[in-house]
């Protein structure tokens, strides 16, 4: 009987430790993380982002995308910012990032300013998370409370950047499963897709769609988009993802889908007779529902596998290991 009691006590103790660790690990991300160690951190980041977006509205989309592309590859650890070295194959050169992901310099600018007042305190991963939130608010999108306390990786994964990031030609099933692998629901996926209310895409990413003469694209819309995207050459020509409010993060993206005016194939599949139709229709009718869900999904995305505690480092320069 005593052996049984001892066994029960041991199991209970182990369970308590696991539960405590789980709670502590989750609690390590906190909106007040820098309140004592770097109280002006958020204002410093906001200033850098505001200057960048004021100079170029498109940068807001780029900063949101930068955070997204970071979190989907080995978690929100600023691995996307690491430059190529003899021992690191940079994520920057992976196909989904090469020649299209922007905003690295804005993050470095913010980090440089933070190092002047709070050396070695604020992580590049947290700067990415805060910059994405500030970028959203600067173009009329929602705000949210950013949890802080992430640390920076000492590795990058070019391979995962090639495989784990959603693509512009992905079918709905692959989009849903890809987000689910990161702990994000179908509703999260549709809400986050609404970031395509801002930003631009290169011609080669939507050429097939606008020349397909398909039933899932408005003929007039396709004709308009062909003007700057010929069937051959000029692959890098840019077009706004949303023609109506290209510099405003709003629910017009979903209204476009109802009119068969999604620029990318991966946009229009969200309203194609599948499981996401009702969500698209809801967001197209309710700016409030979209804004609320977008903010919640960005918070969830920021929780993807962060390095906390003694894991990772605080980089001095975001593009390099200390």
Binding residues for Ca(2+): 70, 73, 75, 77, 79, 91, 242, 245, 250
What is the full DSSP assignment across 92-120?
Answer: GGSTTTTTT---HHHHHHHHHHHHHHSTT
From 130, 109, 63, 164, select the one nearest 319 (Cα to Cα).
109
Q: Which two tokens stand for residue 108?
A: 């470095």
Please give the biggest Cα pair distance in the chain: 83
CA distance 220 to 186: 30
Q: Which two tokens stand for residue 261?
A: 């005016």
CA distance 186 to 175: 9
CA distance 310 to 151: 9
Dihedral pair phi/psi, residue 202, rounded to 5°: -80, 150
48 contact partners, CB below 8 Å, separation of at least 6: 106, 109, 110, 113, 131
Q: Which residues are annotated as a binding site for substrate?
A: 166
CA distance 239 to 229: 9
**Which residues are part of the catalytic machinery?**
69
Q: Which residues are annotated as a binding site?
A: 70, 73, 75, 77, 79, 91, 166, 196, 242, 245, 250
Neighbouring CB atoms inside 10 A of 225's CB total 22
Residues in the chain: 322
From 221, 297, 292, 205, select the one nearest 255 (Cα to Cα).
221
């Amino acid at each position: 009987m005593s052996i049984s009691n001892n066994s029960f006590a041991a199991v209970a103790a182990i369970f308590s430790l696991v539960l405590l660790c789980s709670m502590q690990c989750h609690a390590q991300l906190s909106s007040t993380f820098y309140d004592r160690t770097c109280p002006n951190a958020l204002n410093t980041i906001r200033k850098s982002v505001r200057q960048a977006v004021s100079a170029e509205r498109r940068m807001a989309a780029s900063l949101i995308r930068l955070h997204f592309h970071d979190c989907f590859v080995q978690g929100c650890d600023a691995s996307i910012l690491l430059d190529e070295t003899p021992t690191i194959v940079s994520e920057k050169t992976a196909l989904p990032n090469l020649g299209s992901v922007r905003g690295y310099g804005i993050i470095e600018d913010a980090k440089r300013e933070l190092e002047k007042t709070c050396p070695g305190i604020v992580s590049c991963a947290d700067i990415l998370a805060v910059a994405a939130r500030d970028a959203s608010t600067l173009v009329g999108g929602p705000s949210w409370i950013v949890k802080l306390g992430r640390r920076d990786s000492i590795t990058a994964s070019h391979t995962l950047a090639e495989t784990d990031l959603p693509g512009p030609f992905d079918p709905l099933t692959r989009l849903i499963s890809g987000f689910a692998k990161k702990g994000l629901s179908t509703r999260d996926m549709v809400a986050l897709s609404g970031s395509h209310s801002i930003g631009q895409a290169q011609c080669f990413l939507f050429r097939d769609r606008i020349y397909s003469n398909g039933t899932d694209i408005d003929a007039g819309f396709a004709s308009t988009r062909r003007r700057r995207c010929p069937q051959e050459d000029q692959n890098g020509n840019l077009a706004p993802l949303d023609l109506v409010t290209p510099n405003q993060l709003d629910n017009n993206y979903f209204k476009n889908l109802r009119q068969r005016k999604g620029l990318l194939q991966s946009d229009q599949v969200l309203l194609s007779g599948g499981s996401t139709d009702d969500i698209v229709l809801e967001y197209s009718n309710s700016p409030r529902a979209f804004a609320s869900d977008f903010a919640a999904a960005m918070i969830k995305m920021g929780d993807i596998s962060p390095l906390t505690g003694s894991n990772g480092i605080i980089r001095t320069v975001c593009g390099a290991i200390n």
